[in-house]
Amino acid sequence: MEMKSFIAVGIVLAIAIGVTAVFFASSDPDGLESTALFVQGGKTLTGPSPEDGDPEAVGSGTFAYAAPMPDYALGEELGSLGAIIAIIVGVLIAFALAFGAGKVVAASKQ
């Protein structure tokens, strides 16, 4: 299999896995989000997670970060379609960064 075909198949597989995974994703916070909530005092180790959108539940910590596509979404009005678009864009950006880094490393070895 030539390199261009291999890369194309890899991109298609990554997008297919990402698009199908969005329908199986949990709405519970992941490990990083859960840790940030615990450190801020918004969650106990054994208690339930705070409800989304409840400003009182988040705690008084200073940790804040505004993601360009939070929770793999492009807004409430697009729903699952927005998540699918966000995943496709994310896969393509990740591929472009990895490909670019590979080109830089290959050029530095010549």
Q: How many domains does the chain have?
A: 1
Dist. CA 16–CA 20, nearest whole Å:
6
Q: Could you tell me the two tokens for 98?
A: 């990895």
Please write the tens of the pLDDT for every residue from 72-89. 667 667 777 877 888 888
pLDDT at 73: 66
Mean pLDDT of 5-25: 85
pLDDT at residue 105, rounded to an integer: 93
DSSP string, 5-57: HHHHHHHHHHHHHHHHHTTT--SS--HHHHHHHHHHTS--SSSPPPPTT-GGG
Give one word for 42, left, alpha or beta, with left for phi > 0 and alpha for psi -120 to 50: alpha
Domain membership of residue 48 as a residue range: 3-108
